[in-house]
Amino acid sequence: MRKKSTIDDIAHLAGVSRTTISRVLNHKPDVDPDTRERILRIIEEQNFVPSTTASGLAGGRSRLIGMLIPAWAWWMISDLAPGIIEYIKQTPYELVLYSINDEDIERDRSEVINRLLATQLTAGLLAIYPDRASQHLTRLYKQGFPVVIIDDQKVQVTPWVGVDNTRGAYTAVRHLIGLGHRRIAHILGPANYLVSHDRYDGYCSALREEGIPIDSDLVLEGDFLPQSGRACADRLFELPPEKRPGAIFASSDQMAYGVLASAEAHGVSVPHDVAVVGFDDDTPSAHTRPALTTIRQPYFEMGRRGIELLLSLIDTSGTHAHGRNLSMQETGKGTNGGMSSTDVQPVRISLPTSLVVRESCGARATTRVRPY
């Protein structure tokens, strides 16, 4: 078996130093173009695959970015990842995925993050809908470890990228009211997620604005996933005819898919008997029967802005996981020259949502995007 080439082998063949090879691998600009081309040609000829871990440690900084995702949110990755990947592929960094089960007890949640840091290889952490892990992430950020949260931040002290969930939900319900609906049900997401409360607030605000009372029988809690949406819709369709909703606003497209399945099982026609609106604009939402009216989250932009913000924090702070021994039990000052990260107001980026009108709400216009 052919011996695997090392960075020393490449340096010898190219007649340059290890430092020059490292600068080419890390996309540094101050390398002679002819030298860069020669090195890249040799790398290709030798089938040399640089070790992200080794190059990070050798340079005194990790080139790995941790991305933390709750188990239920894996379906979102196909929408978020393109924005993250497009940006990060222009850099020397690589992604490492970590998942936390929503059922994990608090101790296990803490240990997952501790294990992540114990590797001493991650330069920062991009956390997506962290829920109860938010308090641990906030502590990390206060210690000087670069952290960016994508949506659902409970403690408002960490850099954050998200959307105005309250306004998005308000827009969805106002649209249904504009179509003549008065009995509008709402299927909430889990109560432990901030986005669930924000979207419920938007729902309530739109109803109150029109003087429509909030009927507790029409507000049910799901878990963002199709099965819970179907279970909630089953309960709504089993109400006496005079109490059934004429429209349902689900707090996620995944739950809206469950509503559509329940409607079919109960012989309820969408949108003739009940209008349905979701939230997210997942890729499948345009292909349901009928196609789903929904609130679009700009996932690509959320992912891109999130990783862009995280890398800017890493570059600005100069902090990295290598050489540090952070744990969830640490307290006190941060690592930025003795100054805590919270001494500076964290960046918060709120992106606009938009209403995508399709057949499921009963409006005549289809596949029309309208800003809130």
105-158 tens-digit pLDDT: 445 555 656 655 544 567 888 988 877 677 778 877 887 889 999 987 665 688
Q: What does 149-201 look like in DSSP terms, one character per residue? A: EES--SSTTS-EEEE-HHHHHHHHHHHHHHTT---EEEEE--TTSHHHHHHHH
Question: Whole-angstrom distance between the N-terminal and C-terminal Cα of the chain?
Answer: 62
Residues 6+ apart with CB under 8 A from 102: 70, 71, 72, 131
Tens of pLDDT, residue by residue, the chain (372 residues): 455 678 888 889 999 998 888 888 766 778 898 998 898 888 878 877 665 444 444 445 567 888 888 776 777 788 888 999 999 988 888 888 877 665 554 455 556 566 555 445 678 889 888 776 777 788 778 878 899 999 876 656 889 999 999 999 999 999 999 999 999 999 999 998 889 999 999 999 999 999 999 999 999 999 999 999 999 999 999 999 999 999 999 999 999 999 999 999 999 999 999 999 999 999 999 999 999 999 999 999 999 999 999 999 988 765 433 333 333 333 233 333 333 444 567 888 999 999 999 999 997 644 344 443
pLDDT for residue 323: 33
Fold designation for 64-162+299-350: Rossmann fold (3.40.50)
CA neighbor of 294 nearest in space, from 246, 244, 260, 245: 260
**Tokens 């819709």 appear where?**
233
Is residue 252 classed as helix, strand or coil in its secondary structure?
coil
Q: Which residues pair with 354 in a beta bridge?
A: 296, 371
Among 82, 70, 72, 142, smallest CA distance to 306 is for 82
CA torsion sign for 293, 282, 194, 105 is positive
227/230 Cα distance (integer angstroms): 5
Identify the DSSP state of 50: -
Domain boundaries, the chain: 7-50, 64-162+299-350, 165-297+353-371
Could you tell me which residues are beta bridge partners of residue 273? none
Class of domain 165-297+353-371: alpha beta
What's the confidence (pLDDT) of residue 122?
A: 78
CB of 304 closer than 8 Å to CB of 84 = yes
| Tokens coding 359 | 């057949």
Which has the closest alpha carbon to 347: 156, 194, 140, 68?
156
Query: Residue 68 belongs to what H/E stretch?
Result: strand 64-70
Q: Following DSSP, what letter does each residue of 215-246 receive, concatenated? A: -GGGEEE--SSHHHHHHHHHHHHTS-GGGS-S
CB atoms within 10 A of CB 372: 17
Residues 6+ apart with CB under 8 A from 260: 270, 276, 288, 289, 290, 292, 360
Judge if 64-162+299-350 and 165-297+353-371 fold alike in CATH terms: yes
HSE on the CB side for 210, CA within 13 Å?
20
Q: How distant, in Å, are the alpha carbons of 83, 98, 160, 248, 284 from that of 78?
A: 10, 16, 20, 26, 11
How high is the pLDDT of residue 335? 35
**Phi, psi (rounded to 5 degrees) for 246:** -90, -10
What count of other Cβ atoms lies within 10 Å of the Cβ of residue 286?
A: 13
- Rounded Cα distance, 253 and 296, in Å: 10
pTM: 0.73
How far apart CA 361 and CA 93 sit, in angstroms, is 43
Residue 326: per-residue pLDDT: 36
Give the domain 7-50 fold: 434 Repressor (Amino-terminal Domain) (1.10.260)
